Amino acid sequence: MDPLIFNIQKFSTHDGDGVRTTIFFKGCPLRCRWCHNPESQSYQKEMVLYRHKCTACGACVAKCPHHANALVDGELIFDRSKCVACGICVDWCATEAREIAGKEYTVKELVKEAKKDQMFYEQSGGGVTLSGGEVMAMKNMDFVEDLCRQLHREGISVFIDTSGFAPYENFERLLPYVDVFLYDIKRIDREDHLEYIGVDNTMILENLIKLSEAGAGLYIRIPVVGGINAKPQCMMKMINFLKHNHINARQINLLPYHDIGKNKYAGLDRTYDEQGAMLIPENDEMESYKAMFEQHGFHNVKIGG
């Protein structure tokens, strides 16, 4: 199955150098507690229901062939287990309370979309960033390779935003076409990584070492999340890992946690931050982590993307 795309964001300035078009792939094996794109996690299409926009008009009740909607005492009841995300109801909802996350595109269509802004890439040193979800863990990597190859052939810079959680062969086949991997490091301790991110980080750290040895362009991106990794000892472990393994990072980006995506969870009938443990780091705290990296010999350290 070809990958699904859940968003194409134009004029992005936080996903790598210059002005970029960011293509978001749907599907991810990780479960970061702070994920601000919960619609990116499932590999399937999903209905997103914005209940605050619903006027209980009943149009979706009448049109759904799978009887996934009902009006009870003037209130819309949606049974997600019956919904096959066919999208029929979306066209009938006058208030745009309904949306399907996930759409098929061909490689040709994505390249065509990207080329519309090629002039801006050239002026700004930008290009295309593939993000997710986890691009490197798509079931159809032929699609991803073909997309990268065609963008590269068009002279468009290709960045890939990745958690690193994928077989190294997937990275190896893209190396000729990818200018920079925006490579996330979240925790160094294996047990903590399992707890907060949902997967073992052995493969992530091994892949980073291999990519560095292969001469890949690398920007290391560290989401800084209060209550999860915003601690000097966590930062120190990352610094030690990068130094000990001679990781050739062109840039370090410290990305302060934000909770902008939390309202998306309700649209998917999910709950955000059940433990209430995640905190937004203060500016001076971010500055102190930046200073730590600089004191240990990293010169291109930025707060933000």
Binding residues for ligand SF4, total number by CB under 6 A: 25
Name the one range near ligand SF4 by CB under 6 A: 79-87, 135-143, 161-169, 296-304: 79-87
Binding mask 196-235 for ligand SF4 (x = CB under 6 A): ----------------------------------------
Q: With binding defined as CB under 6 A, does residue 266 bind ligand SF4? A: no
Q: With binding defined as CB under 6 A, does residue 70 bind ligand SF4? A: no
Q: How far is the CB of 90 from ligand SF4 (least distance, A)?
A: 7
Report the 3 state secondary structure along the chain.
CCCEEEEEEEEECCCCCCCEEEEEEECCCCCCCCCCCHHHCCCCCEEEECHHHCCCCCHHHHHCCCCCEEEECCEEEECHHHCCCCCHHHHHCCCCCEEEECEECCHHHHHHHHHCCHHHHHHHCCEEEEECCCHHHCCCHHHHHHHHHHHHHCCCEEEEEECCCCCHHHHHHHCCCCCEEEEECCCCCHHHHHHHHCCCCHHHHHHHHHHHHCCCCEEEEEEECECCCCCHHHHHHHHHHHHHCCCCCCEEEEEECCCCCHHHHHHCCCCCCCCCCCECCCHHHHHHHHHHHHHCCCCCEEECC
Name the one range near ligand SF4 by CB under 6 A: 82-90, 166-174, 180-188, 210-218: 82-90
Q: With binding defined as CB under 6 A, does residue 268 bind ligand SF4? A: no
Please give the residues from 23 up to 52 whose contact with ligand SF4 meets the rule CB under 6 A.
47
Q: With binding defined as CB under 6 A, does residue 56 bind ligand SF4? A: yes
Q: How far is the CB of 88 from ligand SF4 (least distance, A)?
A: 4
Please give the residues from 87 up to 116 whose contact with ligand SF4 meets the rule CB under 6 A.
87-89, 92-93, 95, 97-98
Q: How far is the CB of 67 from ligand SF4 (least distance, A)?
A: 8
Name the one range near ligand SF4 by CB under 6 A: 14-22, 60-68, 174-182, 203-211: 60-68
Q: With binding defined as CB under 6 A, does residue 69 bind ligand SF4? A: yes
Residues within the interface to ligand SF4 (CB under 6 A): 47, 54-60, 64, 66, 68-69, 76, 83-89, 92-93, 95, 97-98
